[in-house]
Structure 1
């Protein structure tokens, strides 16, 4: 929290003060963190194909294995999981997305990715496909960027 205050809000505060205030505001959360008992956040999705999460895995790249995958947020169904030489090429990621759509015959209401450059073409394709829909997530609202850890 101290670092968030410093980096995001440009506030300079004493770290000990932040720790003390957090202990006063939410003692049980501080105790759980100190005992390394993490509480997972609840995730809710309306139904299948409501939101798909897309991300890549780079830890195996030194061995020549780059992984790209997509999962349905509701059912946790793996929509695609591909290994290749690169998961940084926007054309490859967009091709995986289009193959998945043609295979399943449907695409999600929303698409969530991290801010990587490899996702730009896929995001543009998705927004174009959703541009004629009339729901609240039509067009540009159908794609959302987020942190990779939240994906």
Structure 2
């Protein structure tokens, strides 16, 4: 055995290996990732041909993993395997700024964890949808409560027109879980539009029981000529089927809801809001119609 080191510098035929934070390497690997190129041997050859970077396939794999460009990196953060294709796709975009197609994410997930799809059983939980065929405006109203702002003292209850999803009104109320309040809001709406719809739909919450009786009574008194069973004056739906009002809450949450909670809590932390000050509390507008506040 030779008594001296034949490679004192520690460098091999590939030259000095670039680190994962090398700007040129990062841009190249991200570009290949967008091209859906995942084979480390091919990436190694492309690096040499495109950028003159000599790097062994195993080192390419290490650098891609360090940069979070491995197809299964996001899946490793979900050991319970509850995240589906769309969630993984969105989290990759959020964490890395790289937007992958749904088909590509699905392909990688099937390669690395095909059992996860069976565990989530998407077909078993699929919601059966039926097409809506509304007669026209004010034929059906859809009501529901919005709890995203409940934690900061702003419970909301609102109603939309089922045919157009136009907001008929919404109220910031002391509680959207009390039957008397919900019934009062409905009567305000009846007075506002000078009439009642053929049908009103809500979810199955206990706060709607008084509303149910009120709607049935008004229908019987003012429209006794209409068959009380076809269509019924009030229909209970599961929340996932009461979609007209449900989709409307999404717009409110994205435009206002989540940010309002953050800013409100920050105001408390910074000492800008004093809940014991009656002027500040009254300025919040609790109990007023959202349309009045705007």
- Name structure 1 gaps, 5 residues minimum: 1-15, 23-32, 34-39
1:150 aligns with 2:241: yes
What are the equivalent positions in structure 2 for 1:72-83 lying under 5 Å apart? 72-83=161-172
1:61 aligns with 2:145: no
Q: Residues 93 and 122 of structure 1 are in contact (CA less than 8 Å); yes or no, is this contact kept in structure 2? A: yes
Q: Residues 130 and 139 of structure 1 are in contact (CA less than 8 Å); yes or no, is this contact kept in structure 2? A: no
Query: Which of these residues, 78, 81, 85, is aligned with residue 174 of structure 2?
Result: 85
Aligned length: 117
Q: Residues 199 and 231 of structure 2 are in contact (CA less than 8 Å); yes or no, is this contact kept in structure 1? A: no
Give the structure 2 partner of residue 47 of structure 1.
136
- Specify the SS of the correspondent of 1:150: coil
* TM-score, structure 1 as length reference: 0.68
Distance in 1 (CA, whole Å) between partners of 2:161 and 2:150 is: 25
Of 129-138 and 71-80, more deviation after overlay is shown by 129-138
Q: Residues 127 and 139 of structure 1 are in contact (CA less than 8 Å); yes or no, is this contact kept in structure 2? A: no
Evaluate the alpha carbon distance shift between residue 140 and residue 92 of structure 1 in structure 2; reply closer, same or farther with a 3 A threshold. Answer: farther
Evaluate the alpha carbon distance shift between residue 55 and residue 102 of structure 1 in structure 2; reply closer, same or farther with a 3 A threshold. Answer: same
* TM-score, structure 2 as length reference: 0.36
- Specify the SS of the correspondent of 2:143: strand
- Specify the SS of the correspondent of 1:144: strand
Of 109-118 and 78-87, more deviation after overlay is shown by 78-87
Deviations 1:78-130 (A, max 9, x none): 12211123101111111010011011101100111111111111111100011
Distance in 1 (CA, whole Å) between partners of 2:173 and 2:235 is: 25
Of 47-56 and 76-85, more deviation after overlay is shown by 76-85
1:94 aligns with 2:183: yes
Task: Give the drift of 1:58.
Answer: 1.1
Evaluate the alpha carbon distance shift between residue 47 and residue 99 of structure 1 in structure 2; reply closer, same or farther with a 3 A threshold. Answer: same
Distance in 1 (CA, whole Å) between partners of 2:228 and 2:141 is: 13
Distance in 2 (CA, whole Å) between partners of 1:139 and 1:125 is: 18
Q: Residues 155 and 172 of structure 2 are in contact (CA less than 8 Å); yes or no, is this contact kept in structure 1? A: yes
What are the equivalent positions in structure 2 for 1:10-29 lying under 5 Å apart? none
Give the RMSD, CA atoms, in angstroms: 2.6
Task: Give the drift of 1:140.
Answer: 9.1
Distance in 2 (CA, whole Å) between partners of 1:125 and 1:72 is: 19
Which structure ranks higher in relative contact order (CA pairs < 8 Å, sequence separation ≥ 6)? 1
